[in-house]
C-alpha cells in the first residue's frame, strides 16, 4: 500500500515553488508552475501534479528546460499574440500571453495565442479553465514528443496531443470542461505505473511491434494506444497542426522526450483560441450551455466533462490532498 500524507493546497504550492527555485528556476518562472501544480493536485490529476516536480527540477539542472528563460511576447496581427518561451517552461509564457489575449478577445470577439519553443504545459484544461473564468470560451491544443503510431503503422509520429475546451456559465466557472488526449490514456499515467511497478490495463499502450501490453516499461518503449483507433490518430494530427505547425514549434517527431535527461529542450508548442460568446451568440449563450449541461446531469449515472474535477477541487480546498510520501521525498531531496 502506498504511504501518503495530507497537504493543503498552499503547502503543495509552497513545496513545488521551493523545489523549483532550489533547482535553478527563477522565482518569476517557478510561481506560475507551482500555482498550476497545486491546482492540478486539487483536481485529482496526481500524475501531472507533484509527481512531475522532480522531473521538472532534473530537467532544469540538465538543461532540457531553461529555468531562467524570459519569454518574448509579440503581436504580429490585431487578433494574434505569439509567445516565444525561449526553451523555458510553458506557464511563464502563457501567463503574459493571456494578459494580452483576454482583452483582445473581448474587443474583437475572437483572438488566438500561439506559444512556441516551450516545454510541457501540464494539464491543458487548467489553462482553458482560466479563460472560461474570464467569461470566454477557451480552446487549447498542445503537442508532445511522438508516442502514437499512425493507423497500420508501428513507429510513433505524433504525441498524445491533448485538446481542451472550457465553456463558461453565468458564475464565470467552466460549466462544460473537456480535457482529453488523443491517446487512450495520458502517457504520464503509464510513466506513473512504471515508477510504481504496477501493470497497466490492456488498451493503454502497445509494444514495439504494435501489440497490446500490460507492462508499462514495454509500453513506454513502444507506443501509446490512440483513443478510438484511427479517430484518435486524427485528433492527434489536428492538434499537431494547431500546436506545432501553426505556432512555429517543433513537431513531435523532432522533439526530445519529456522524460529522461537526453535530447535538449523539446521546443514544443501550444495554441489557444479565446472567444467572447456575447459577440457571436448574444445574451443567450450561458442559458444554452446550462440547458446542455442539465440534459446530461438529469440522466442517472451520466457524466458531464468537468464535474469530476470540480467535485474533487471543492473537497481539496476544504480537506487537502493525500500525497505520496515517496513523491515528497524525491521533491525534498531538491529543497535540501
pLDDT, tens digit, 9 for 90 and up, residues 157-176: 999 999 999 999 887 789 99
Residues 297 and 317 in one domain: no
pLDDT, tens digit, 9 for 90 and up, residues 206-235: 888 888 999 999 998 888 999 989 999 999
Among 110-114, 201-205, 332-336, the range of highest mean pLDDT: 110-114
Residues 236 and 130 in one domain: yes
- Beta bridge partners of residue 323, listed in sequence order: 5
Q: Which domain holds residue 296?
A: 74-183+226-305
Sequence-ordered list of residues with C-beta below 8 angstroms from that of 254, at least 6 positions apart, any chain: none
Q: Give the pLDDT score at 282.
A: 87
pLDDT, tens digit, 9 for 90 and up, residues 293-305: 999 999 999 999 9
Q: Give the pLDDT score at 172.
A: 73
**Domain of residue 49, CATH code:** 1.10.1530.10
Residues 31 and 175 in one domain: no
Residues 21 and 163 in one domain: no
Residues 112 and 169 in one domain: yes
Look at residue 95 and tell me if it is in a domain.
yes
Does 144 have pLDDT greater than 90? yes
Query: How many domains, in total, are found in the chain?
Result: 2
**Domain of residue 86, CATH code:** 3.30.1370.60
Residues 39 and 164 in one domain: no
Query: For strand 174-180 and strand 205-206, is the pairing parallel, antiparallel, or unpaired?
Result: unpaired
Q: Give the pLDDT score at 31.
A: 98
Residues 37 and 120 in one domain: no
The position carrying cell 485528433 is 235
pLDDT, tens digit, 9 for 90 and up, residues 7-61: 999 999 999 999 999 999 999 999 999 999 999 999 999 889 999 999 999 999 9
> Please, what sign has the CA dihedral across residues 28, 30, 36, 39?
negative
Q: Outline where DSSP puts E strands in 251-307.
A: 268-275
Q: Give the pLDDT score at 191.
A: 84
Nearest-angstrom CA–CA distance, 307 and 178: 10
Does 5 have pLDDT greater than 80? yes
Residues 142 and 17 in one domain: no
pLDDT, tens digit, 9 for 90 and up, residues 258-309: 988 989 999 999 999 999 999 999 889 999 999 999 999 999 999 999 999 9
Residues 176 and 119 in one domain: yes
Residues 138 and 252 in one domain: yes
Look at residue 293 and tell me if it is in a domain.
yes
Nearest-angstrom CA–CA distance, 205 and 168: 34
Look at residue 327 and tell me if it is in a domain.
yes
Nearest-angstrom CA–CA distance, 278 and 288: 12
Look at residue 215 and tell me if it is in a domain.
no
What pLDDT band is residue 186 in, cutting at 50, 70 and 90?
confident
pLDDT, tens digit, 9 for 90 and up, residues 66-110: 999 999 999 999 999 999 999 999 999 999 999 999 999 999 999
With residues binned 3-state (H G I as helix, E B as strand, rest as coil), the percentages for the chain, rounded to 5, are 45, 20, 35
Look at residue 212 and tell me if it is in a domain.
no
Look at residue 127 and tell me if it is in a domain.
yes
DSSP state of 225: P
Helix or strand run (H / E) with residue 140 = strand 137-142
Residues 299 and 313 in one domain: no
What SS3 class is residue 324? strand
Residues 109 and 234 in one domain: yes
Report the Cα–Cα distance between both ends of the chain, in Å, rounded: 27
Nearest-angstrom CA–CA distance, 87 and 65: 6
Active site residues: 47-48, 189
Look at residue 213 and tell me if it is in a domain.
no
pTM for the model: 0.94
Amino acid at each position: 500500500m502506498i504511504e501518503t500524507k495530507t497537504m493543503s493546497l498552499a503547502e503543495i504550492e509552497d513545496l513545488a515553488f521551493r523545489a523549483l527555485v532550489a533547482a535553478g528556476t527563477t522565482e518569476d518562472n517557478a510561481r506560475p508552475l507551482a500555482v498550476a501544480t497545486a491546482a492540478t493536485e486539487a483536481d485529482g490529476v496526481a500524475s501531472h501534479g507533484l509527481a512531475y516536480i522532480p522531473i521538472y527540477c532534473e530537467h532544469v539542472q540538465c538543461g532540457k528546460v531553461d529555468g531562467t528563460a524570459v519569454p518574448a511576447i509579440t503581436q504580429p496581427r490585431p487578433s494574434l499574440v505569439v509567445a516565444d518561451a525561449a526553451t523555458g517552461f510553458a506557464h511563464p509564457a502563457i501567463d503574459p500571453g493571456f494578459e494580452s489575449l483576454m482583452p483582445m478577445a473581448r474587443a474583437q470577439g475572437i483572438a488566438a495565442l500561439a506559444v512556441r519553443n516551450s516545454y510541457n504545459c501540464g494539464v491543458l484544461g487548467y489553462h482553458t479553465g482560466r479563460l472560461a473564468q474570464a467569461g470566454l470560451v477557451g480552446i487549447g491544443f498542445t503537442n508532445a514528443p511522438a508516442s502514437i503510431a499512425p493507423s497500420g503503422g508501428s513507429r510513433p509520429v505524433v504525441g498524445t496531443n491533448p485538446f481542451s475546451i472550457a465553456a463558461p456559465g453565468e458564475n464565470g466557472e467552466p460549466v462544460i470542461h473537456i480535457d482529453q488526449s488523443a491517446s487512450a490514456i495520458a502517457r504520464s499515467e503509464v510513466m506513473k505505473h512504471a515508477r510504481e511497478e504496477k501493470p497497466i490495463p490492456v488498451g493503454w499502450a502497445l509494444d514495439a511491434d504494435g501489440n497490446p501490453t500490460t507492462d508499462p516499461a514495454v509500453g513506454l518503449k513502444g507506443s501509446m494506444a490512440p483513443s478510438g483507433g484511427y479517430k484518435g490518430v486524427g485528433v492527434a494530427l489536428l492538434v499537431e497542426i494547431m500546436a506545432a505547425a501553426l505556432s512555429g514549434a517543433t513537431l513531435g517527431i523532432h522533439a526530445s522526450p519529456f522524460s529522461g535527461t537526453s535530447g535538449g529542450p523539446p521546443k514544443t508548442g501550444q495554441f489557444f483560441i479565446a472567444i467572447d460568446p456575447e459577440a457571436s451568440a448574444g445574451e443567450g449563450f450561458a442559458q444554452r450551455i446550462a440547458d446542455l449541461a442539465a440534459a446530461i446531469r438529469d440522466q442517472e449515472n451520466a457524466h458531464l466533462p468537468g464535474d469530476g474535477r470540480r467535485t474533487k477541487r471543492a473537497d481539496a480546498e476544504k480537506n487537502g490532498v493525500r500525497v505520496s510520501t515517496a513523491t515528497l521525498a524525491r521533491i525534498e531531496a531538491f529543497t535540501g
